[in-house]
Amino acid sequence: MTPEEIQGIFFVECEESLAAAEQGLAQCKAGTQEADTINAIFRAVHSIKGGAGAFGYEALQAFTHVFETLLSDVRENLVPLTPTLIDLLLRALDVLADHVTAARESGTAPEDAALLRELEGAMANAVGQACAAAPTAPEPIASPPFDDEDELTSDFDLDMMLNDLAAAPPIDEAMAAEAPDGWQVHLRPHAGAMRNGGEPILLLRELVALGAECRECDISAVPSLDDFDPHQGYLGWTYIVPDDVSESAVRDIFDFVGDDCPIAMGPGATIPPTQIDKPKAAPVIAAAPLAAVAPSPVAKPVAAPAVAVPAAPSVEAAAEPAVQASNPAPGSAPPAAPAPGQSIRIDLIKLDKLIDTVGELVIAQAMLAQRLQTEGIQSNEELTLLEGLTRDIQESAMSIRAQPIGSVFSRVPRILRELASSTGKHVNLQLVGETTELDKTVIERLGEPLTHLIRNAVDHGIEKPEDRLAAGKSAEGTLTLAAEHRSGRILIRIADDGAGINRARVLAKAVEKGLVAPDAQLSKEDIDNLIFAPGFSTAATITNVSGRGVGMDVVRQNVKDLGGRITIESEEGKGTTFTLTLPLTLAISDGMIVKVGDQTLVIPLTHVVESLRPDPKDVQGLGANRQMLNVRGRFIPVVSVGDAVGAHDAINMPHEGVLIVVDTESAGQAALLVDNIWDQRQFVIKSLDTHYRNVDGVAGATILGDGRVALILNVDTLVASAVARGMGLEAA
């Protein structure tokens, strides 16, 4: 593994550590201040510090060192975890995230001097109390001045180790002392541990974090300076672990290094012997004898080691636990059970290639079915099996790309903290359905519109504390983010309990900007949608949050680019809700293939409610050029797809064709008139923007089984435009 690959893994793990620390601090802010939560925060920050020192990111390491020291004081109950301190730690975490970004992008480190003074100030009282209570310690051994290279090892606390060795009694005397309660664990890292990016001091610190105490440090294998090889492992340790710490918790610390850092536990165990070796090539894993493997109808895959490619984003895919090739040696400790939810990191480019290949497989399967049908073979068992397997492969591939939307929601607390400092409005965040999964590509492109909507909700929607109190509300506003699956799509709601949309003010501003005529008669929905107009803003002054008329138009365009739509519900004085309806994936979907004149089109199945051939009496005229379909006592508009797309020789009489009842977000239900329905199957979505240009009413294109290209209808846009123009059929 190259240094660049290891560095890429470090930044991926930094993101995971930042998310874990964010979650832990959020729990502390909510009142859950358990020791495990605080330890998890400390370990997350500590992991970032260790990697920063190894890669020479001095600014990141220096900031994290102070941050970690304060967290250590909190763990040891030297500093009380008050709400004020939690807010300080959250601000420090935000700056830490900026430091990580600067290191990853080789940018300028953020200004952190003022915050460092605050962190050090929070520690001042605790340090003073500790110094007053501490007994007189022996004089520390003077350490030689460090040159530039030596400063990179400052993370290893060499001064502290030398001082501890000077103050400690001889090993024999220490061993004779009464041992503390607990059980022993012995370890000795070999050269391979450091070659693979491990650092023994970090392993020891993880042990200490569990409450373990060092009982012995074996230095008998350390050679003379002339024979000293810095790549080898010479030291061994014995630690006393508290009885309430499980063996599996200790083994988890050493999972990454494996045999490169052997450990021994239990009575009678001793420090493993020294192993001086040279870097070797990875051993070839021999196949296990057939007799050693239990017969099984389906072979289980063996999990590969965790790998990552730093140049591209990565997703995690579940892997089967590794299969034991042989039984453990008699008398040895039983192997630790594999941790649940094992995963590997996969280069996203490779995964995209897999999805594209699965898409081509779907097309090939459709072509095969079409060819067999042409040859007079309607259906057979093998073709049905192939179709089922193709669908299973497609669903499995898409599930690998699926990620919980909580990864997007996790960014919101920081946005709210920044807005609180600039607007003075404190907002309580409520999350619903953060485990809802959707395609990673959709998640990556969802961040920007979500940020704009949240900033808009806090700046324009939620009132100032004094105004809320005057209106009988709590001083703190509430912002709710909710996600759910519905009919093959995902609905995301951003709701606030603010003042709602002031429609009179919006309309006046639209008239002032010339967006609508002064005498225009607009519905509530039409007025609400004016806020999406480019350059539109009702802010009285320009701030760093809003006022320049950009943001909401970007939201609508981004959502439209994702194949989704956005709607608004607002009640003055009570709040506003924005609803984003998005596809679960941008690659493969199910659709109904229909014939309209000389055109073959695809209607996404997520919109389809039912299809029917109406009786003439079920279709009634409305005005001069609109038809309404009576569906069990309820009338919905009939939209001619042929007229909407400009098809030639399309059927114009509803009772002569087929009506497909569809459901839309903005225009409710409608009946699409088509000539007939050809098939219903999966289709691979090809972007028109990439291969041609954007076309109103068309969401994309696909390749049919016979090789022809068919357009995929954007049902929402097509119905809304047709209804707005009064497009329909001549009344019978």
699 and 597 housed in the same domain: yes
Kind of pairing between the strands at 565-571 and 575-583: antiparallel
Neighbouring C-beta atoms of residue 153, cutoff 10 Å: 12
First-to-last alpha carbon distance for the chain, in angstroms, is 75
Residues 573, 498 within the same domain: yes
* CB hemisphere CA count around 351 (13 angstroms): 24
Average pLDDT score, the chain: 75
Among 362, 382, 400, the domain-final residue is 400
CA trace torsion 494, 495, 500, 501 (10° rounding):
20
d(CA 380, CA 382): 6
Q: Which of 320, 327, 333, 321 is nearest to 291 (CA)?
A: 327
Q: Is residue 211 part of a domain?
A: yes
* C-alpha–C-alpha distance, residues 71 and 28, integer Å: 13
126: number of Cβ within 10 Å: 17
Residue 437 domain-assigned (yes or no): yes
Residue 666 DSSP SS3: coil
Q: Which pairs from 515-524 meet CB under 8 Å and 24+ separation?
A: none
The answer on 720 and 618 residing in a single domain is yes
Q: What distance in Å separates the CA atoms of residue 697 and residue 722, rounded to the nearest whole number?
A: 10
Q: What was the pLDDT predicted at 197?
A: 53
Q: Which of 279, 311, 334 is the last residue of a domain?
A: 279
pLDDT at 15: 86
pLDDT at 329: 42
Question: Looking at residue 96, what is its pLDDT?
Answer: 92
Domain count, the chain: 5
CA distance 451 to 398: 26
- What CATH number is given to the structural domain containing 436? 3.30.565.10
Q: Which of 583, 608, 627 is the last residue of a domain?
A: 583
Are both 615 and 661 inside the same structural domain?
Answer: yes
Does 332 reside within a domain? Answer: no
d(CA 674, CA 614): 12
Regarding whether 268 and 200 lie in a shared domain, the answer is: yes
* Tokens read off for 682: 């999966």
339 inside domain = no
Do 578 and 595 sit in the same domain of this protein?
Answer: no
- 55: domain CATH number? 1.20.120.160
Same domain, 109 and 182: no
The reply to whether 540 and 675 lie within a common domain is no
Residue 431 β-bridge partners: 481
Query: What's the length of the chain?
Result: 732
Asked, for residue 79, whether it belongs to a domain, the answer is: yes
Identity of the amino acid at 270: T
Q: What pLDDT does 487 receive?
A: 61
DSSP letter string, 186-247: EE---HHHHHTT--HHHHHHHHHHTT-EEEEEE-TT---GGG--TTS---EEEEEE-TTS-H
- Report helix, strand or coil for 349: helix
pLDDT at 1: 60
pLDDT at 480 (0 to 100): 93
Is there a single domain that holds both residue 602 and residue 570? no
What pLDDT does 496 receive? 92
pLDDT < 70 regions, the chain = 1, 125-181, 192-199, 255-259, 268, 276-343, 345, 378-379, 487-488, 537-551, 585-588, 624, 665-666, 687-691, 694, 705-706, 726-732
**Where is 145: in which H helix or E strand?**
none
CA distance 370 to 37: 59
With contact defined as beta carbons under 8 Å apart, do 555 and 453 qualify?
A: yes
Q: Are residues 228 and 131 in the same domain?
A: no
Q: For residues 579 and 595, state if they share a domain.
A: no
Which CATH number goes with the domain that contains 184?
3.30.70.260
- pLDDT computed for residue 388 by the predictor: 83
Distance CA 48, CA 17 (A): 7
Instruction: Please tell me whether residues 606 and 513 are part of one structural domain.
Output: no
Both structure tokens of 46: 């500590």
CA dihedral 467, 470, 473, 474 (to 10 degrees): 70
Neighbours of 506 (CB within 10 A): 20
Position 214 scores a pLDDT of 86
Residue 328 lies in a domain: no
How distant is the alpha carbon of residue 619 from its chain centre?
49
Distance of CA 170 to the CA centre of its chain: 52
C-alpha distance from residue 13 to each of 6, 52, 72, 331 (Å): 11, 12, 21, 37
Question: Does residue 719 lie within any of the structural domains?
Answer: yes
In a domain, 712, yes or no: yes
Q: Is 620 helix (H, G, I), strand (E, B) or coil?
A: strand
Range of the domain at 466: 405-583
Q: What is the pLDDT of residues 573-587, one digit of tens each?
A: 889 999 988 877 666
